[in-house]
Each structure stands twice: as structure tokens, then as C-alpha cells.
Amino acid sequence: MIRKVLGLVPGELTHLTPKLLAAIIAQALSQAAAYLLLVPVLEALFDNDLGRAWFWALWMLAAVAAVVVFGYLQAAIGLRIGVGMQRGLQTRLGDHLNALPLGWFETHSAGPLSRIVVENVREIQGLIAYLLTKVLTSILVPLGVALGMLFIDWRISVAMLLAAPVLFLINSAANRAYSGADERMHAAAAEADSRVVEFAQAQPVLRSFGAVGPGNRALDDALARQRSAISRLMFATVPGLIVFGLFVQAVFLVLVYIAVGRVTDGAVSAAAAIALIAVSSRFIEPLNQAAQLGNALRSAAAAADRVTGLLAEPLLPEANTPVEPGAPSVVFDDVSFGYLPGAPVVSNLTFSVPAGTTTAVVGPSGAGKTTLLRLVARFYDVDSGRVAVGEHDVRAQPSETLLNQLSLVFQNVYLFNQSVADNIRIGRPDATDAELRRAATAANVDEIVDRLPDGFDTAVGEGGATLSGGERQRVSIARALLEDAPIVLLDEATSALDPHSEAVVVRGVHELTRDKTVIVVAHRLATIAHADQILFLDGGRIVERGTHTELLAHNGRYADFWNERSRASGWRLEPAPV
């Protein structure tokens, strides 16, 4: 376990690890020596041999001084590694998360990730900075005392050494019971964290349906499972602590019995017996400390396992060879892909989007339309076939090169709890104020900014909570306009907007897609009709393709879809007859 934790130390600090371990070992052995030297000091005092007592006392003082010096060194080195480890490990986790496939995040919630990056890293830091010294000391001091006792009384030494493996077995059994309970507690706590965040973010929905207080069963159940998991963790921990503590006390009684027996046999003096009992108590004290540290140690070990597990998640293979993008085109060549093995979402897709043209993708829900856009942006890698952007396979391009060619506007817009300006600048942090304002004006964000108290510097709240859905879409379009990439991936999201917001967003979309290569998952009839090419997807396959006129003349699936949408667009509520 300790090897696994030390393996997480950042590379620039690994040279300090041997120094830390050396300081801990030296401190522990010095402490054991100080305890053992108590025997000749007491013997000399009881024999009134002050010269011999001072001789051994000076050696004891030297051992105590060594304890202080090495204690200071291990504390300073451990703290330096611990602080650097927290920063380095969190940076490493952040870099690893940045390199994971984007689709990975769709199956992993924020709660467990937050616990790993914040709480588990803090536990590992504490292990290095403070706990490691106590753990190793609680092992090395008794071991040093037991071995040193060979030169004083071998019987007590043998009793100490025989007790060690039994204590190890008891501790191992307690570890197994604790590990399972701790993992269940972590899962329950992560779920509760996610539910609390959800509860805070979804207040309007929860209140509108009366799902607050007793009505919010999801949060109540998650908190109840967390309480239950904590209780099970305590019940899994306490028996091991009790048994371990009882056995440690039993070992001490055996050592006292042996020491007293040696006095009764006349083998040692009463002074030596007192000293042996005192040293035995010093042998027992670290073992008791080990029992008390057991829970913290096991928790840190579980934290290290979770951090190591996250770092072991396979990264999206990254191309290292720079490429020069060609014409802004998109090509799907016999592409198949599924989120789960054996369950393809798209199958054998082959089509091309020439530079400067617009391709509309239509079809029923679940046909694979949004998946198609995700494959272009390399949220996932295809199972077979090839997706090419800018005349190069997306897998052969560094991520920065690929994403610099793409502007993405999806249905679910996420805005950070920062200013409007900061949210627009996400794609181009170095954009000038003039460039930002031009993009904002083209997307009609200036209309929003004019009524905000601090204009562009107004914070929009978590997820953009202070803005409406249409306003968030306008900010996302301004963000894409500022990036000014040659290829636009657009998952139109105007169907849920009011007429004014829809008209404003549509104007922004027109500005965004002007003279660009566009793939749009289309919902609006006007967008579909003016596309250079229309793909009708069903069951992950292209069942029809062509222009709007060609497909209507064909009178197939697309024609049925168009007629149905046309009828729906004229739908209205009629007053009930009186």
C-alpha cells in the first residue's frame, strides 16, 4: 500500500522520498535505542554506580537528541512532499481528465470525481505529510525494541517477536472488513453529493412539481443510504479495533509475567525487572497507536486505490505528428459506432460534406443524429471506418488541430459562473474587446447585455441560471462566432424557444454559418429546405439522401417527415364550444 502511495508522488519530488524514509527509520531506531538504554541506566542507579549511570545516560541523551533531529527532518521533508503532492496530483488528475474521451464524462457524474480530486487527494497528502511517519514508527520502534532485547533478555525478545505475526494477521482481517465497507460508504457518499448538487440546481423543477422536502425521495433515499453505509463502516471497524487492542494488552501482560518470573528465578535484579517492564510498555505503546491509526491508514489506502483507478482510465489516443488541415470538408467512410458493445448506434455511414456546403441531418429520435456530430468532434472513436475533417482522419490529428477547425453549438448549453464576456471568450481567451463585441452583436447578445447590471462583466450564475434558454443559446453562438472556425456543427435547439427568441437565435445561426461548412441536426423547416444536402437517418443508417426538391419528388420517408412537420407548424389551440 505504501509503495502504491509513494508511486503517486510527482516526479520532481521523488528524490525526496528516500530521504523521508531514511529520516523516519533513523528516528524510529533512535527512539527504540533510547527505550533500551533505560535498562542499563536503571540498573546502574539501583547499584549506586553513578559513573556507569552517567555513561549510559549520556548515550540515552544522544539517542533522544537523534530522535529530535531526525523528527524535525522527517516532518520538514514530509510536509514538503505532501504539499507538493496535493498540487502535483490534482494537476495530474486534471491533465488526465482533459485527455479522456469526451464521451467518458457522459457516464460519470460530478460527485465521485469531486470526491476523488479533492477529498481523496487530501487523504493521500495527509498520509505522506503526517500519517506515514506514525505508521512506520509504530512498526519500527517495537521491532527495534524486540531485536535490541536479544542482547538483554532473549525470552522477552522472543515473546515480542512471536506476537508480531499474530498482530499482523488480526490487522489484515480488520483491513478486509473495512475495505469493503469503506468502498460502499464512498459510493453512497458520492451519490449523496450528486443528489445535493442536483437538488440545488433543479429547484425550479422540484418546486413546480412539489418534489421538495418529503417529496424529494431521490435525495432522501441517497442520504439514508449514506447514513446506513457509515453505520456499516463503524460496525466493520469496531470489532477489529477491540480484538487488536485486547491482544496488545494480553501481550503486555505476558511480557510483565516473564519479567517478574526472571526476578523470582533470581536471573535478574529487581531494578532490571522494573526496566524491562518499562521497556515493554514502550514496546506496547506504538502498537496501540497502530490500532488507532488503522482506520486512517485504511481510508488513505482506499483513497489511493480510487486515485490510481482514475489515472488508469484509458486515454483517447493522441496523435503526436502535426498535420496541416486541408479544405474544410467532412467525410464519413463506412463508419460504424455503438456506445455499448454489440449495440451499434450508427452503421456503415458513408457521405461527404464538401467545403462551404450545408448538410442537414433529419430523422426520428434515436436515429443517431447527435452521435454523428459527436464523432466528427471526436467525443468518441469509431468502431470501424473513418471520419475525416480537413482531409485528415480525426484520429491522426492532435486534438488542438481538430478542434480549432470546429465550432460546436449543441442543444444543451453550459455557461460557467463567470461574466458574459468570459463565457464568450472560452474559445479565444486572447480576443480583443472589439472582436468580442462584434461577435456579441452578431449573435444579439448586446440586447441581453444592455439590461444586465454590469453589462458584459455580469456573472451569469452556475450553468447560466440567470439567463433564459434562448439567451444562453445566443451566448453560445457568440462564443462560436468569436472562435470563427471553418466548420460548424450545429444541433439546432430552437424548437423549445418562444417566437422572438427563436427569430433572434436563427439570425445568429445564419451569421455563424455564413461561408462555412455546416452539418446541422435540423428541426426547422427553413433550415432543412435550404440545405445543399439532406440525410435522412433511421436506425443509424442513411435511408434517403438528396436535396429538398429531390426528396419531396421521391415521396418517401423524408416527404412523410416534411408533411408531418408542415402540419404540426400550423397547429393551434381552438376555443372550446360554449
SS3 call for 331: strand
Please report the pLDDT score of residue 240 as a whole number: 60
pLDDT lower than 50: segments of the chain: 209, 571-573, 578
> How far are the Cα atoms of 149, 332, 498, 550 from residue 547, in angstroms, in the given order?
93, 19, 29, 5
Place of cell 515480542: 160
Protein fold of 2-311: ABC transporter transmembrane region fold (1.20.1560)
Q: What is the pLDDT of residues 3-50, one digit of tens each?
A: 777 778 877 888 888 898 899 899 988 988 887 787 788 777 777 788
Q: What is the CB neighbour count within 10 angstroms for residue 74?
A: 24
Burial class (CB in 10 A: 0-12, 13-18, 19+), 69: middle
How would you classify the pairing of strands 541-546 and 533-538? Answer: antiparallel
Sign of the torsion formed by the C-alpha atoms of 502, 508, 514 and 520: negative
DSSP letter (8 states) at residue 419:
B
DSSP letter (8 states) at residue 59:
H
Query: Phi first, then psi: what are they for 83, rounded to 5°?
Result: -65, -45
Query: Phi first, then psi: what are they for 494, rounded to 5°?
Result: -105, -5
Distance of CA 166 to the CA centre of its chain: 38
Distance of CA 176 to the CA centre of its chain: 25
DSSP letter (8 states) at residue 305:
H
CB 536 within 8 A of CB 543: yes
CB 258 within 8 A of CB 159: yes
Give the residue extent of every domain in the chain. Answer: 2-311, 330-569
Place of cell 408531418: 564
Burial class (CB in 10 A: 0-12, 13-18, 19+), 402: buried
Q: What is the pLDDT of residues 254-313, one digit of tens each?
A: 766 666 666 666 655 566 666 666 666 666 666 666 666 666 777 777 788 888 888 888
Q: First-to-last CA distance in the chain?
A: 79
Please report the pLDDT score of residue 234 as a whole number: 66
Which of these, 449, 398, 452, 407, lies nearest to 428 by C-alpha position?
A: 407
Please report the pLDDT score of residue 206 as a whole number: 55
Protein fold of 330-569: Rossmann fold (3.40.50)
Query: Phi first, then psi: what are they for 350, rounded to 5°?
Result: -135, 115
SS3 call for 547: coil
482/425 Cα distance (integer angstroms): 7
DSSP letter (8 states) at residue 124:
H
* Amino acid (1-letter code) at residue 22: A
Q: Which residues contact 326 (CB under 8 A, 6 or more apart)?
A: 390, 391, 392
Please report the pLDDT score of residue 545 as a whole number: 92
CB 371 within 8 A of CB 423: no
CB 315 within 8 A of CB 99: yes
